[in-house]
Structure formats: structure tokens, C-alpha cells
Structure 1
């Protein structure tokens, strides 16, 4: 199994009405509104099922959501129809965005999506984000420090409602970690790219000027950058 199955296993990523998903929104909402003071055009990059797109639409932003997963986009569109939303959801690759230069006031990249990308790939993502942002546009990225998380993981840690961590295998170069999740019914594995907070920030600074770093808890961050 890969990320597609991983996200389907946890309501925090697929059910926008669940308490788990709402907790994610409540954690980030005040900070998004603080830094996104002026209404404008927003790219919700790796939007998943669209919960944050709908949130920002309610506050008057013009939103386009992009995700590489066809299943996620289909579900986002279903939610959009239920809400009579005008958000446009597109299937697309973050490393090769289907947009012209300098058209977005904001790009949001939420939900620890950095773990999908190897260094050269995340570099391409950041380069694309910079390309599509307007001059003085803001890039807001939310992530977990995976290096710190892996140092704290214990076998048997419960994840979600019915899964626990059964095994963690880190490669010799310490670039990726294979985590095995188990429930009473199934077992699946997901390979995560190991990103620390410092490394993400250093890479982002190649393309953006840092505005603020917000430590949401012991492991997760929201970094705000401005296009250089």
C-alpha cells in the first residue's frame, strides 16, 4: 500500500465532517486568516478532499484546489456539490503545475505533504510555487518534523481509531522510513521521506523570504514565506 491507501485509512484526511478533520482546521484556521488578510486568489496545493478550500471560500477567497490523486479530487468535487461550492478542483502534479506565471496571491501547502517528495522533487515543487505566485505573494506550508517524530515513535503507538504502528524501518542513508500500520483486520506499509524542519526551511529560503515560523506543537509547524 502507498499514500492513497494511507489517506483512505484515516478520517482526518478524507471526512471533512469528522472531528479529526475539524481538529486540523481549527488548529490552522486562525493562523491562515492572520496572514491571509487581503482577499485574493488561492492555490490549495495537495488539497486532498478540499476541507481547507471550502473554509477559505467561506471567507471570500477565490480558490483552486490541486491534487495528484484522482480519488481525492473526486471526493472533493462531491463535497463541493453538496456545499454548492464554486471551488475548482483539478488533478495535477505539484512539480509541474498547469498554470501561468504570477497568478496566485497565496499558495497553501498543508497536511505534511512534504513527506511525499524526495529532495530534488520538493525543490521542483517550491520552484513551481514561486513561479505561480504573484509578486509579494505568500506561501504557507504546514508540516511535521519527521526526523523528530521518528526519534519518538514507539511500537504499538495507536494511530486513528483502529491502527497501531507495528514496525519502522529507516533506510541506511536515513532519507526514507517505511512504517507498518496494523489493525485487527489489515496491515499496510507506507514509505515516508524524512524531512526535518530545518532542512525544509533551508530549501524554502532558496525561493522565498521567511516571514514567520509558528510551532503548532512539539512536532508540527506552519511556516509563512513571501516570494522573493
Structure 2
């Protein structure tokens, strides 16, 4: 998750980031990633959530760190890493601010449609930080959902009840602002009657490619079940 969002909803749904469905998704994802990852490669997982992909990539031979702002998710990631005896390091920080260094990583990844949390003006800075952190010839893999399709789905007049960690959560679409390309979602935790309003930013594949072009070369886009996995190479 990115730093402009309230942390609460991410921690409320923390169990979904460690569920069997997540492992199944990773297993389907990996064959598309293999050519961009060699044993011993240094990798950074941006907006890593509870670390499911981070730990999986370590098992494939990566030397990897995961970064996420939500403390509940990072706590789960560290707990699972300890349980497995993994070496992956998990850092609780904003990916928009954390110093990634220069020319360190062979591969950067960001999954879970995390780009939705990035305000449009902050994206170029994020892109440049990833570019600087990668070695020459390194790759950046970014998973995203078509933002316009997501808005069309979310705006249907209904409330969606999901099971959180310790309570049901009601998710409600509040509105779409075409002027700044955002939509708002309200999350209501029934057990404590907490309500949190989140702003999500609409991104679509062509827009992401346009934003990436000054620094990265587009390699390919791989359609997944409900999203796309775009691969970029450092110019």
C-alpha cells in the first residue's frame, strides 16, 4: 500500500494476503516471470503486503526484501518468514519515500494492483526511484487492473460484505471524480463501527506505459485472470 491511504483497511483484510487463493495465484504467475529471474538475483518487492510473493521468490533463489507501509501486513510477513526460516527482510516503510539505493537490484516487482494507491503526480518520482535502484539491464514487473473496468464494476449500486480478520467489512462505492481520475470507497468495520474513506487512482495500461516511457522500455503485457502483468526493462 502507498502512504496517502489510511492503513486500517489493509490490516483489516490481512488474512486475504496469506490465504490459499494467494498461493494459487502465485503458482500461476511464476511461469511468466521465470525468464526475468535467475538464482542469486537481488530483488525488491514493492508494496509486498504479507509477503506471499516475496517468500515464494526467495524459494526460487532470489535474495529479496519486501517493503510495505501497513504494519499489520509486515508483522504477518515477518512471522511467516520466521516460521519458514526464510532470510527475506521485511521493511515497514512507504515505497514512495524509502531509499532504495542505486544500481542494486536485478529485478523490482509490484503486485496486487498497488499502483491504484499512487497519486498520479507521485508516479514519476516512484518510477525514477525504481529505475535508479535497478542494475543496467534490470527489469520491473508491475501488475495492475484496468482502472476503468474496476470503476464500472465498483460503482454498481450495492454494498459488498467481506470477511475481515475479526469482523465483517462492508465495502461501499462512494463516487468517481472524472476530473482527477479518482474514485472513493468506504470501508465499514462492523465489530467496532469504524468507517474509513479511501481514495483510489484510476490507471490503465496505456497510461502506465506512457508514464514509464521516459525511463523504461516496454517489453510485454501478460493477461492474467483479472489483471495484467507488465514487464519493463531499464533503458
1:210 maps onto 2:218 in alignment: yes
Matched with 1:4 is: 7
Q: Which residue of 2 aligns with 1:189?
A: 197
Aligned ranges 1:100-139 → 2 under 5 Å: 100-139=101-140
**How has the CA–CA distance of structure 1 residues 160 and 212 changed in structure 2, closer, same or farther, with 3 Å as cutoff?**
farther
Ranges in structure 2 where 5+ consecutive residues have no aligned partner: none
Greater RCO (CA < 8 Å, at least 6 residues apart): 2
Name the CA shift for 1:158/1:70 in 2 (closer, same or farther; >3 Å): closer
Are 1:167 and 2:170 an aligned pair? no
**What is the 5 A alignment of 1:32-43?**
32-37=33-38, 39-43=40-44
Change (3 A) 1:159 1:142: farther
TM-score (norm 1): 0.87
Residue 48 in structure 1 maps to residue 55 in structure 2? no
Cα–Cα, structure 1 residues 39 and 31, in superposed 2: closer, same or farther, change >3 Å? Answer: farther
1:145 counterpart = 2:170:
no
> Which is further off, 4-13 or 144-153?
4-13
- Deviation at 1:96? 3.2
Report Cα offsets for 1:23-42 as digits up to 9, x if no partner: 43234222222432454100
Q: Conserved in 2, the CA contact under 8 Å of 1:214 and 1:223?
A: yes
Query: Structure 1 residue 198: deviation in Å?
Result: 1.5
| Whole-Å separation in 2 of the counterparts to 1:191 and 1:211 | 30
| TM-score for both structures, normalised by structure 2 | 0.84
Task: Report how many aligned residue pairs link the two structures.
Answer: 224
1:148 Cα deviation after fit: 1.9
CA–CA separation in structure 1 for the residues paired with 2:50 and 2:89: 12
CA displacement at 1:111 relative to structure 2: 0.8
State how far apart, in whole Å, the 2-side matches of 1:72 and 1:11 are.
6
Quote the residue 2:158 is aligned against. 156
2:232 equivalent to 1:225: yes
CA RMSD of aligned residues (A): 2.3
Structure 1: state its 5+ residue gaps. none
Deviations 1:87-143 (Å, cap 9, x if unpaired)?
011223322332321010000011111111112211111100000000000000001
Question: What residue number does 2:22 align with?
Answer: 21
